[in-house]
């Protein structure tokens, strides 16, 4: 489920309590609206266990839906992002579903699962309750189709670059050390995931999350990743309890190209000495135009509210940042190399890429032989 979908579910899940649910009529629920020149066509749509729940003046849409889509174009597809819209202006009225790590050849079909909740006012005119539209398709040559209203081109391109990086890594292990070494790499990845501390993160833009004290400033420490085009010079945030507010950053463009976007990964330290990945925070300045050698400084209008896995708040005692993504003005991207994971702090905290997760799932379900066959395809 996408981050936007999770936030919609959290915000409006309470509306379900005590209300009567009913399955909607399929024709009244959905409108699937792809452009006429779309490289995707709809083969089938199963509304399955989707439900609507009336609560006061609002309607909660609990969507449990499977789509079957066909690659109707001439190029292989590596990623797809759909926008799911119940109401444009209502908070929680829209979400997105992204499917990375695809390998869909022309003419092939593939499933897209939609599991999320949306909110819609009851007093809205006729028409479908939910509209599914195409935000973007990423092809195997990294070209893109779609309106890109959700900036899905950047996200899917980064996922594909990570996928290529990780496929090359695992193929190299197989070719140089054999299947047993590939199996060991999978076991090590699984072990890192099981040991990685879990953290619930709520990101709020544009103000303070709660009426908390101003907090104390805590300086960032920074991990220097190999080959990063952007060098962090300094940064801090105001911390009170389990909230970090208004992070400020100063960076330098070390590359020979203009930087138009970058993201900083946050590692949070608690009072018990544990370290958590709080997420990757994008710079919010849409006019960023950082020339080679220039410095950039800004304060982000956002708040991070953190809680460890059982739901108990944690106390923030320190923060470490690292550059997790850079986009240049020509639309190309940089992602950290695989060698960055040699740093045990990064390896323990950062989740595996969607492609590594796909290969791990294949190994768990079908064993080493199926994994070897898959890696050899690349």
pLDDT digits (tens, 9 = 90+) for 101-155: 999 999 999 999 999 988 888 766 667 888 999 999 999 999 999 999 999 999 9
Domain boundaries, the chain: 3-149, 160-195+354-376, 199-349
Tens digit of pLDDT for each residue in 171-191?
Answer: 999 999 999 999 999 999 988
State the pLDDT at residue 41: 96
Cα–Cα distance, 186 to 360 (Å, whole number):
7
CATH entry 2.60.40 includes domain 199-349:
yes
Q: Indicate the SS3 state at residue 371.
A: helix
- List Cβ neighbours of 311 (8 Å cut-off, separation of 6 or more): 200
Average pLDDT estimate for 257-266:
93
Cα–Cα distance, 193 to 129 (Å, whole number):
39
Point out which residues pair with 51 in neighbouring strands: 62
Residues 85/97, Cβ–Cβ less than 8 Å: no
State the pLDDT at residue 378: 80
Assign 12 a pLDDT band (cuts: 50, 70, 90): very low
Q: Among all chains, which residue has been given the structure tokens 């799932």?
A: 361
pLDDT over 80 (residue 94): yes
Assign 294 a pLDDT band (cuts: 50, 70, 90): very high
Using only the alpha carbons of the chain, give its radius of gyration.
Answer: 22
Instruction: Provide the whole-model pTM.
Output: 0.83
CATH class for the domain made up of 3-149: mainly beta
DSSP letter assigned to residue 341? G
State the pLDDT at residue 181: 97
Residues 145/136, Cβ–Cβ less than 8 Å: yes
Cα–Cα distance, 327 to 186 (Å, whole number):
30
Angle at alpha carbon of residue 167, lines to 163 and 173, rounded to 5°: 150
Assign 207 a pLDDT band (cuts: 50, 70, 90): low
Structure token pair of residue 287: 């006019």
State the pLDDT at residue 111: 96
Point out which residues pair with 32 in neighbouring strands: 132
Cα–Cα distance, 339 to 360 (Å, whole number):
19
Tens digit of pLDDT for each residue in 23-64?
Answer: 545 445 678 999 999 999 999 998 778 888 887 777 888 888
Residues 238/338, Cβ–Cβ less than 8 Å: no
Could you write out the DSSP letters of every residue in 68-79? Answer: EEEE-SSS-EEE
Q: What percent of the chain has pLDDT over 90?
A: 51
Q: Which of 74-78, 91-95, 125-129, 224-228 has the lowest mean pLDDT?
A: 125-129
Average pLDDT estimate for 340-368:
85
The helix or strand, by DSSP H or E, that contains position 190, with its residue range, turns out to be helix 179-195
Cα–Cα distance, 53 to 58 (Å, whole number):
8
Domain pair 3-149 / 199-349, same fold: yes
State the pLDDT at residue 260: 96
pLDDT over 60 (residue 360): yes
Exposed/middle/buried for 190, CB within 10 Å: 0-12, 13-18, 19+? middle
State the pLDDT at residue 27: 46
Structure token pair of residue 154: 């950047």
């Amino acid at each position: 489920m996408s981050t936007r979908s999770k936030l919609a579910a959290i915000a409006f899940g309470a509306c379900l309590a005590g209300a009567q649910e009913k399955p909607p009529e399929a024709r009244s629920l959905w409108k699937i609206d792809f452009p006429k020149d779309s490289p995707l066509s709809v083969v089938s749509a199963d509304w399955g266990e989707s439900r609507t729940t009336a609560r006061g003046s609002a309607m909660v849409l609990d969507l449990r839906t499977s789509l079957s889509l066909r690659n109707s174009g001439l190029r292989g597809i590596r990623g797809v992002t759909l926008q799911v819209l119940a109401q444009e202006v209502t908070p929680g009225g829209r979400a997105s579903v992204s499917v990375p790590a695809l390998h869909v050849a022309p003419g092939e079909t593939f499933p897209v699962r939609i599991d999320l909740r949306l909110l819609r006012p009851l007093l809205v005119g006729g028409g479908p309750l939910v509209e599914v539209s195409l935000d973007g398709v990423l092809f195997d040559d990294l070209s893109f189709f779609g309106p890109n209203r959700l900036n899905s081109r950047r996200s899917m391109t980064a996922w594909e670059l990570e996928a290529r990086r990780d496929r090359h890594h695992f193929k190299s292990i197989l070719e140089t050390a054999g299947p047993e070494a590939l199996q060991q790499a999978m076991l090590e990845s699984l072990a890192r995931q099981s040991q990685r501390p879990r953290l619930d993160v709520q990101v709020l833009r544009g103000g303070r999350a709660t009426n908390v004290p101003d907090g104390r400033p805590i300086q960032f420490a920074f991990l220097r990743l190999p080959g990063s085009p952007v060098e962090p010079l300094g940064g801090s945030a105001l911390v009170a309890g389990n909230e970090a507010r208004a992070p400020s950053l100063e960076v330098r463009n070390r590359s020979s190209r203009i930087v138009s976007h970058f993201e900083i990964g946050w590692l949070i330290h608690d009072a018990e000495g544990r370290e958590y990945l709080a997420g990757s925070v994008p710079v919010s300045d849409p006019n960023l135009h950082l020339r080679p050698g220039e410095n950039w400084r800004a304060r982000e209008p956002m708040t991070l509210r953190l809680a460890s896995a059982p739901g108990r708040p944690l106390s923030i005692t320190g923060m470490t940042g690292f550059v997790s993504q850079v986009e240049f003005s020509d639309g190309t991207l940089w992602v950290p190399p695989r060698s960055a994971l040699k740093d045990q702090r990064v390896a323990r905290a950062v989740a595996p890429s969607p492609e590594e997760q796909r290969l791990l799932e294949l190994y768990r379900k079908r064993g080493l032989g199926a994994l070897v066959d898959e890696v050899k395809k690349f």
